[in-house]
Amino acid sequence: MIYTQELVAEVLKVIEETKLSEKEAIKRCLSGKISDHAIWSSVHAYVFEIEKRLNLIDFILRNCFREFDKQNTVFKNLLRVGVYEMHFKGVHPALATDSIVRIVKQRFNLKMASLANAVLRRAEKFDYERRFRKLGKVKRLALEYWHPEWFVRYAIDMLGEDEAIKLMKANNEKQSVYVRVNELKANIEEVRRYLENSGVEIEETPLPEVFKAVKYEKHPSVLDWHSEGKYVVQDLASCFVSHVLDPQPDEIILDLASAPGLKASHIASMMENKGVIIAVDNSAERLERMKAKMKQLGVKNVVCRLADGCKIKVGDVDKVLVDPPCSSTGSFRSYPCVKWRFDRELYLKTIDVQRKMIKNAFRNLKSGGIMVYSTCSITFDENEENVMFASEFFKVEEVKPVIGVRGIREFRGKVFPFWDKVVRTFPHLHDCTGFFISKLKKV
């Protein structure tokens, strides 16, 4: 017999040991093993809720068990599940402890089961709120709002304390669901009627082909028209990026970091499947998934190329989209595990890739050509500072804030003169992913 808590511990282990997202890790652990949909959703809910507040759960455990970090990964994650259940899920502490102890006994041995019992009994009595009130401001806010300390410092310096707190609170809420009509396969009215008839309450957004799914009996991604490719589930700000690129049917467009192809398929539909989109990605696996997605969506003008977006040379194209790998600090709602993943070294390496892609966009553009540079990160370094870097060889054009607000003018002593030409979205202000969008012209 396998328990939900044990499955959750295994998924958490995969997230910790690989770079997979919550959803990918769940798929890897449950596919072919569990067919019951209810178990999938229960595991999903546990994993998301634990990943969201991982620093606080670990704070409790480290205070109750000095050797916590040295333990076997599955054992550690079972303890996390126990703490989550008793402190945040409303499970009676004795029940939460008993179920974890039973699993540990079955999976490991009696000695570890009694260790789990002792740790969880201590955790039950641990008054974490009282304890972290005695900490310094950054440490306290990090635990209170479940974010890494570096992010708390960063957000306060960028937005001020009140707004940083609003952002962190919004990051802990459920991501809103947006549906983009795939106009290659269906029209906007048809999809509107289909969704309404399927029990999805929708709202319009500033983008005509994008609806917000406000309430639903079944998530739009499990309905038939989704598998038929008549619409995709895509974040509102992500959809706005393709509008800023403003693709025309006869153009040649280079997408330097393309997989899984959400923006490429949107661009293809705006181009009515005409012209060409050269879609580059350096991950074979992601590119294969993208090819299957393009087929499902009826996209015919995308040519996929497995290559390094920092180096590939294809010729003088009309437009380039640079939507590079980033710290994903605007996507914490959708991928809470990303909060705990970035260290300084990886962050600097990511910025280096972003700049190399910007330079390569310039090399591939015809004179007068347009580059759209976007990220789902909220940091100044990956956004405004990269546009400053690009402005040495590009002219910064204005993006109309159809959605969003203007960029950051100043951060930690650095001034950004193009703040009124770029656009940012924030989870707490626009109920979508935190995006940065800029448009630059090769002159």
Ligand X SMILES: C[S@@+](CC[C@H](N)C(=O)[O-])C[C@H]1O[C@@H](n2cnc3c(N)ncnc32)[C@H](O)[C@@H]1O
- List beta partners, residue 303: 278
Nearer to ligand X, 164 or 280 (CB): 280
Q: How many other CB atoms are found less than 10 A from the CB of residue 102?
A: 15
Q: Does 286 bind ligand X (CB under 6 A)?
A: yes
Token digits of residue 413? 């002593």
Q: CB of 407: closest distance to ligand X in angstroms? A: 19
Q: How many other CB atoms are found less than 10 A from the CB of residue 134?
A: 8
Q: Does 247 bind ligand X (CB under 6 A)?
A: no
Considering only 82, 247, 261, 330, the residue that binds ligand X (CB under 6 A) is 261
Rounded Cα gap, residues 88 and 75, in angstroms: 19
Which one of 304, 326, 337, 376 is the catalytic residue?
Answer: 376
- Report, in angstroms and rounded to the nearest whole number, the Rg of the chain calculated over CA atoms: 23
Q: CB of 429: closest distance to ligand X in angstroms? A: 21
Contact criterion met (CB below 8 Å) for 308 and 363:
no
Nearer to ligand X, 269 or 282 (CB): 282
Q: How many other CB atoms are found less than 10 A from the CB of residue 19?
A: 10
Q: CB of 438: closest distance to ligand X in angstroms? A: 15
Q: Which stretch binds ligand X (CB under 6 A): 100-108, 188-196, 308-316, 400-408?
A: 308-316
Nearer to ligand X, 245 or 422 (CB): 245
- Is 376 labeled as catalytic in the residue annotation? yes
Sign of the dihedral through C-alpha 288, 238, 14, 381: positive
Q: Does 254 bind ligand X (CB under 6 A)?
A: no
Q: Does 257 bind ligand X (CB under 6 A)?
A: yes
Rounded Cα gap, residues 192 and 34, in angstroms: 34
Q: Does 323 bind ligand X (CB under 6 A)?
A: yes
Q: Which stretch binds ligand X (CB under 6 A): 33-41, 188-196, 218-226, 319-327?
A: 319-327
Q: Which stretch binds ligand X (CB under 6 A): 168-176, 244-252, 281-289, 331-339?
A: 281-289
Query: Could you identify the residue written with the tokens 């282990």?
Result: 13
Considering only 82, 220, 229, 325, the residue that binds ligand X (CB under 6 A) is 325
Q: Does 283 bind ligand X (CB under 6 A)?
A: yes
Q: Which of residues 82-111 bind ligand X (CB under 6 A)?
A: none
Torsion on CA atoms 295, 301, 307, 312, rounded to nearest 10: -170
Q: Which stretch binds ligand X (CB under 6 A): 7-15, 168-176, 204-212, 274-282?
A: 274-282
Q: Which amino acid is at 160?
A: G
Token digits of residue 135? 């900490």
Contact criterion met (CB below 8 Å) for 363 and 408:
no
Nearer to ligand X, 244 or 259 (CB): 259
Q: Does 243 bind ligand X (CB under 6 A)?
A: no
Token digits of residue 273? 């499947």
Q: CB of 283: closest distance to ligand X in angstroms? A: 4
Residue (of 15, 33, 35) closest to 25 by Cα position: 15
Burial call 205-222: b when 16+ CB within 10 Å, e when fewer:
bebebbbbbeebeeebee
Token digits of residue 380? 């100044």
Q: Does 308 bind ligand X (CB under 6 A)?
A: yes
Nearer to ligand X, 203 or 352 (CB): 352
Q: Does 242 bind ligand X (CB under 6 A)?
A: no
Judged by CB under 6 A, the number of residues near ligand X is 19
Q: What is the DSSP string of 83-110?
A: HHIIIII---HHHHHHHHHHHHHHHS-H
Considering only 116, 164, 310, 422, the residue that binds ligand X (CB under 6 A) is 310
Nearer to ligand X, 97 or 360 (CB): 360
Contact criterion met (CB below 8 Å) for 175 and 238:
no
Rounded Cα gap, residues 360 and 133, in angstroms: 49
Is 323 annotated for ligand binding? yes
Q: Which of residues 339-398 bind ligand X (CB under 6 A)?
A: 353
Q: Which stretch binds ligand X (CB under 6 A): 81-89, 103-111, 129-137, 254-262?
A: 254-262
Nearer to ligand X, 220 or 324 (CB): 324
Count CA atoms within 13 Å of residue 330 on its CB side: 28
Q: Does 64 bind ligand X (CB under 6 A)?
A: no
Residues assigned a catalytic role? 376
**Binding-site ranges for ligand X (CB under 6 A):** 257-263, 280-283, 286, 308-310, 323-325, 353
